[in-house]
A = this chain, B = another copy of it.
Amino acid sequence: MTSSTGFSRRALLGGAGAGLVAGAAGGVAVGRPAGPAPAAAAGLGSGRIPFHGARQPGIVEPQQARVHLAAFDLAPGAGRDGLRELLKRWSQTAARLGRGEPATEHENRIAADAGPCSLTVTFGFGATLFDRAGLADRLPPALEPLPDFPEDAIDRARSDGDLWVQICADDALVAFHALRVLQQQAAGTAVARWQMSGFSRTPGAAGTAPVTGRNLMGQIDGTNNPQPQQPDFAAKVFCGSEAPGWLAGGTYVVQRRIRMLLDNWENLPEDRQERVIGRRRSDGAPLSGGTEHTAVDLAAQNPDGTLAIPADAHVRVAAPAANGGAAMLRRGFSYHDGLLPDGSPDAGLLFVAFQADPARGFVPVQRKLARGDGLSRFLRHEASGLYAVPPGAPEGGYVGQALLEG
């Protein structure tokens, strides 16, 4: 039995007398105890990110410990009506799960016992969706396919897709439960195309201070990410009036599965790794001096007159100043899918980046990186996708409503 010190859906759903609790929940979160919140209820499990609002969740919030990324293709014959009904179901479910409520009475109870664990579900639309759903006239021009970049080794079976779903949570069972429920609800309307899973630091693992994450190369990654408090943040990340009306306030997301050649990387001495990146490995400070958040000085020189930040260093080639101010909100996760046949790790970065316009964000930066970045020798881009991410849904509405009913 559950104790009053744990928050539990079991206590509410359990036993022969339990009725349709899911339908009875209003403003009260089913996943929390009714009494005074115990200490842990202020912790990891109780984290709750609203689904409804001007923006979809899972974009500006701190990264959760676990992610599932998935794409679905619309089933033949589903059409615009099928898509609309699916997005209604999915939106309703994402809102319930985000509140810590069960999705349905008969669902698999993998997530029972747990709080919402900061679950977010984010939906995006691939270019192929528009034709398939009879919406070709509403295809945003910015959703044109990404160009091929030098050294790309893209597996199309793990790329693209009509519908993109990002599920994040601080508990792996809560995240998996959401994936299963959404996949079941797609049955007959949309078919799973690919799925990938990843991870980020667990809250509390590195203490309470905000710490920029590290990737599987051991490098601090994300120092220069746009911050919500910056005045141009929204303009960099979210679509304005240049986008179709149904997408205003939304964004575009680029996803890349980027395998890291860790065996090669880890064989490099630390000072060579640092020159490849342009930052110190220990604390992320630029090689031009200072601390992690000191601005990179691209002109700084070593005593011998050489550039402190080498010509092909990642931070130099990727610098917004070198790319017409291009910026993206990167929200990538690490992945590890075991061993490849040659014994090397199938591991790297599930790159996820939100931006107002990919033609001014990811595309120009990646063009430069693929040609001039010293880091690219240690990376393989293996999958790729670009999706339009509609704005958030208001209470009672659903994601994509303005596209489908506008």
Residue of B nearest to A281 (CB): B109
Identical subunits present: 2
- Of B39, B171, B208, the residue contacting A40 (CB under 8 A) is B208
Query: CB distance B205 to A114 under 8 Å?
Result: yes
Contact string, A78-91, partner B, CB cutoff 8 A, digits 1/0?
Answer: 00000000000000
On whether the beta carbons of B8 and A173 are closer than 8 Å, the reply is no
Interface string of A267-293 (1 = CB under 8 A from B): 001100000000011110000000111
Closest to A197 in B: B336
Chain B residue at minimum C-beta to C-beta distance from A3: B209
A153 at the interface (CB under 8 A from B): no
- What CA separation (Å) do A161 and B386 show in the bound complex? 42
B266 and A191 contact, CB distance less than 8 A = no
A10, A39, A269: which has the most chain B beta carbons within 10 Å?
Answer: A10
CB–CB A207/B282 < 8 A:
no
- Residues in B neighbouring A292, C-beta threshold 8 A: 1
| CB under 8 Å from chain B, chain A span 1-48 | 1-8, 10, 13-15, 18, 38-41, 43-45
CB pair B171–A209 under 8 Å, yes or no, is no
Tell me the bound Cα distance from A280 to B217 in angstroms: 45
Q: Are B176 and A216 in touch, CB under 8 angstroms?
A: yes
Does A194 touch B at the CB level, under 8 Å?
yes
Instruction: Give the complex CA separation of A43 and B43 in angstroms.
Output: 10
Which of chain B's residues has its CB closest to A170's CB? B202
A356 interfacial contact with B, CB 8 Å: no
Q: Is the CB of B45 within 8 A of A280?
A: no
Select from chain B the residue with minimum beta-carbon distance to A339: B195
Give residues of chain A (113-172) contacting chain B, Cβ–Cβ below 8 Å. Answer: 113-115, 117, 170-172
Once the chains are docked, how many angstroms separate the CA of A184 from the CA of B263?
9
Give the chain B neighbours of A92 by CB distance below 8 A.
none
**A75–B199 CA distance with the chains assembled, in angstroms:** 32
Q: Contact between A10 and B209 (Cβ–Cβ < 8 Å)?
A: no
Q: Which residues of B contact A171 (CB under 8 A)?
A: 65, 201-202, 205
A211 nearest in chain B by CB position: B113
Contact B192 A343 (CB under 8 A): yes
Known: A6-B206, A195-B338. A110 touches B214 (CB 8 A): yes
Contact check, B109 vs A218: say whether CB atoms are below 8 A apart. yes
B270 touches A106 (CB 8 A): yes
Question: How far, in whole Å, are A3 and B293 apart by their CA atoms in the complex?
Answer: 13
CA distance A18 to B281 in the complex (A): 12
The reply to whether the CB of A337 lies closer than 8 angstroms to some CB of chain B is yes
Q: Is A174 an interface residue (CB 8 A)?
A: yes
Alpha-carbon distance between A197 and B66 when the two chains are bound, in angstroms = 13
Are A218 and B112 CB-contacts (below 8 A) given A192-B343, A206-B45, A343-B192?
Answer: yes
Q: Answer yes or no: A248 CB below 8 A from chain B CBs.
A: no
CB-defined A-B contacts under 8 Å, sample of 15: A2-B209, A3-B210, A5-B207, A44-B202, A109-B281, A113-B211, A114-B205, A172-B334, A173-B200, A173-B214, A180-B262, A180-B266, A192-B343, A195-B339, A337-B338
Extra contacts, 11 of them, besides A3-B209, A108-B266, A176-B334 (Cβ < 8 A), are A1-B291, A8-B207, A65-B171, A109-B281, A110-B215, A114-B205, A114-B206, A173-B214, A173-B216, A176-B336, A180-B345
